[in-house]
Chain A
Amino acid sequence: MSAYEAIFWFLTVVALSCALGVILSRNPVSSVLFLIATFFAISGHYILMNAQFLAIVNIIVYAGAIMVLFLFVIMLMNLNADTEPQKNKLVQLAGVISGGILFLVVLAALKSSTVKTLEQTATDIGLIKNLGKTLFTKFVLPFEISSVLFLSAMIGAVVLGKKGTPHPNTENS
């Protein structure tokens, strides 16, 4: 086993077990922490594929910003064991059935597809220079449209946040 393979398998095991930890742990804060660990393992995979820019952006955006906000919200909710909503039998049954159907669909989809192996050739597309050139020439229209989408989401958040009369203390200070 080469060093590349050893690191690949190590990262895969970490990513999958942390992803399982996200859905299996009872405490939402530890779910969030498992998710952060998963992002780190995935960033490790990006680095193995020589995509350093993607790796670090994955950490900055997801682990550094989005998960901080997740943690922020979860910490503000006073989550104790007794406040956890009790699910009745009907909801549990519905969950099991819909989950089983989803599993079946995924299985059927995977059965007919051909499995591609990861090519371990030296590509430089993940380096920032090549990625930028590709994004701003070949994919410039989708790139700009998605940025407009983000802008509209931001403006929507501001509009929602401005609803109602502003608090008097924050206005005249």
Chain B
Amino acid sequence: MLLLEIDIAFLIEKLILASVILLGSLGVAMYATWGERKVAAVMQDRVGPNRAGPLGLLQPLADGGKLFFKEEIIPDSSTKFLFILGPGLAMLTACMTSAVIPWGPDYITESGHAVSLQVADINIGILFIFGVVSLGVYGVMLGGWASNNKFSLLSSIRAAAQSVSYELAMGISLVALLMMTGSLSMREIVGQQHGFWADGYFTWNFFKQPLGFLIFLVCSFAELNRAPFDMAECESELNMGYHQEYSSMKLGFYLFAEYINMFITSAVIATLYFGGYNFPFMDAVAEAVNPLLYTIICVLVLLTKVICIILFFMFVRWTLPRFRYDQLMRLGWRSLIPLALINMLITGAVILWALN
């Protein structure tokens, strides 16, 4: 009654947008697997995948095909329903976050109709992301428990403890950011970072919240279960961790969900701290070119930032050794949470001082 004035044209527009974004993130995630192997190869002085297609560019397709045609084994002693639900949940939560990210400014057509490049502009955008991230651990937990394997169970419990611990510091570092922006809507946060330089200072939140950014970045490594924090699947202690019993495309879902998560997390970091689709001299560009081209440039700028952050994630993975579990927990509880609290206090004090 309040919210359900359904407009068919609007629905179709959003449907197309959502499908494009979903397919886009799947595509980027696919080539992120290729990119990861190439980055690893370069850093270890190897060649990397180079057989399937030029530069090995068809390698992700070959991998996907291989996973599809593998024999699917469901262990007899597993809880079958949850065993199948686990990878599905991992994939679902990985894909959900992309709904609130603004991929570009509104494109205004010649008839004056504004096409928003954001699936849903809800006024609690950041909290939505946070909620979906906190649900992400269920896929790992259920899969690990349902496998009825001690390594899987240990791994899923590690993953749960790790993600609950690091969510705290992540949330507090976001509070400091929200105190500055005064809004939870992703669209407004991007709007406030318009251009690059205004009123004698940078507009991007990275320059206003460097410590908060650092905490957020470290926590997102932990939330993504990526090295140096990949406690859930460290092969020297847990064989393969939570996906030990999985085979075929169910294993593929788990591995693929990690890459989708990495893409979406990079997009969130770019949106919150690096100005989203904003770039220096964007007003001059907007006047010089036609609106469609301008929108495309903005989207490409955001994608460039996202790819840079993904590359950073990969460099870190192939550079740093894995943490030990108690070191990981100590870093989270004794360093990051106090740091995030101090950052929040400083931000509050500066805002009060600026107000007076």
Chain A interface residues toward B at CB < 8 A: 2-4, 7, 29, 33, 36, 47-48, 50, 52-53, 56-57, 59-60, 63-65, 68-69, 71-72, 75-76, 120, 122, 127-128, 170, 173
> B2 contacts A53, CB within 8 Å?
no
Chain B residues with Cβ below 8 Å from A56 are 124, 127-128, 130-131
**Would you list which residues of chain B between 321 and 356 have a CB under 8 Å from chain A?**
326-327
B4 at the interface (CB under 8 A from A): yes
User: Do A122 and B2 form a contact, CB below 8 Å, given A52-B123, A75-B156, A170-B326?
Assistant: yes
Q: Mark B62-105, 1 if CB is under 8 A from A, else 0.
A: 00000000000000000100100000000000000000000000
- In the assembled complex, which residues on chain B have CB atoms less than 8 Å from the CB atom of A36? 138
Does B268 touch A at the CB level, under 8 Å?
no
Known: A53-B127, A60-B131, A76-B157. 10 other contacts (CB 8 A): A3-B6, A4-B1, A33-B82, A33-B142, A56-B131, A60-B134, A63-B134, A65-B164, A68-B160, A71-B145
Residue of chain A at shortest CB distance from B329: A170
| Chain A residue with the shortest CB-CB distance to B171 | A60
Whether the Cβ atoms of A128 and B184 lie closer than 8 Å is yes
B141 adjacent to chain A (CB < 8 Å): yes
Contact between B131 and A64 (Cβ–Cβ < 8 Å)? yes
CB of B135 closer than 8 Å to a CB of A: yes
On whether the beta carbons of B135 and A120 are closer than 8 Å, the reply is no
In angstroms, how far is the closest chain B Cβ from the Cβ of A66? 10
Give me 14 A-to-B residue pairs in the complex whose CB atoms sit less than 8 angstroms apart, sorted by A's number.
A7-B4, A29-B145, A33-B82, A48-B3, A52-B123, A53-B127, A56-B131, A63-B131, A64-B131, A64-B135, A65-B164, A72-B161, A75-B156, A128-B184
Q: Assess whether B260 is interfacial by the CB under 8 Å rule.
A: no
| Interface secondary structure of A, over-half rule | helix
- Shortest Cβ distance from B100 into chain A, in angstroms? 11
Q: How far is the CA of A33 from the CA of B161 in the complex (A)?
A: 18
- Pairwise interchain contact A29-B82, C-beta atoms closer than 8 A: yes
* Interface presence of B153 (CB below 8 A): yes
Interface residue ranges, B against A (CB under 8 Å)? 1-4, 6, 79, 82, 122-124, 127-128, 130-131, 134-135, 137-138, 141-142, 145, 153, 156-157, 160-161, 163-164, 167, 184, 326-327
Cross-chain contact A173 with B326 (CB below 8 angstroms): yes
For B138, list chain A residues within 8 Å (CB). Answer: 36, 68, 71
The prevalent SS among residues of B at the interface is: helix
Number of residue pairs across A and B with beta carbons under 8 Å?
Answer: 80
Smallest CB-CB A-B distances: 6 pairs: A64-B134, A4-B1, A3-B4, A59-B131, A56-B127, A60-B131
Assembly CA distance A36 to B137 (angstroms) = 13
Whether the Cβ atoms of A50 and B124 lie closer than 8 Å is no
Residues on A with C-beta less than 8 A from B4 are 2-4, 7
A57 CB to closest chain B CB (Å) equals 7
Q: Which residues of B contact A65 (CB under 8 A)?
A: 134, 164, 167
Question: Are B164's CB and A69's CB within 8 A?
Answer: yes
Please state if A75 and B1 are interface contacts (CB–CB under 8 Å).
no
Cβ–Cβ < 8 Å partners of B130 in chain A: 56, 60
Residues of A within 8 A of B153 (CB): 75
Which residues of B sit under 8 angstroms from A60, Cβ to Cβ?
A: 127, 130-131, 134
Q: Which chain B residue lies CB-closest to A58?
A: B131
Contacts of B161 in A (CB 8 A): 72
| Distance, CA A122 to CA B163, complexed state (A) | 37
Residues of B within 8 A of A63 (CB): 131, 134-135
Residue numbers in B under 8 Å from A72 (CB-CB)? 141, 157, 160-161
- What's the Cα separation between A65 and B133 when bound, in Å? 11
Q: With A and B bound together, what is the CA distance between A173 and B326 in angstroms?
A: 9
A69 to B167, CA, bound (A): 13
* Complex Cα gap A64–B129 (Å): 12
Please judge, given known A-B contacts A4-B4, A127-B123, A128-B124, whether A59 and B135 are in contact too, CB under 8 Å. yes
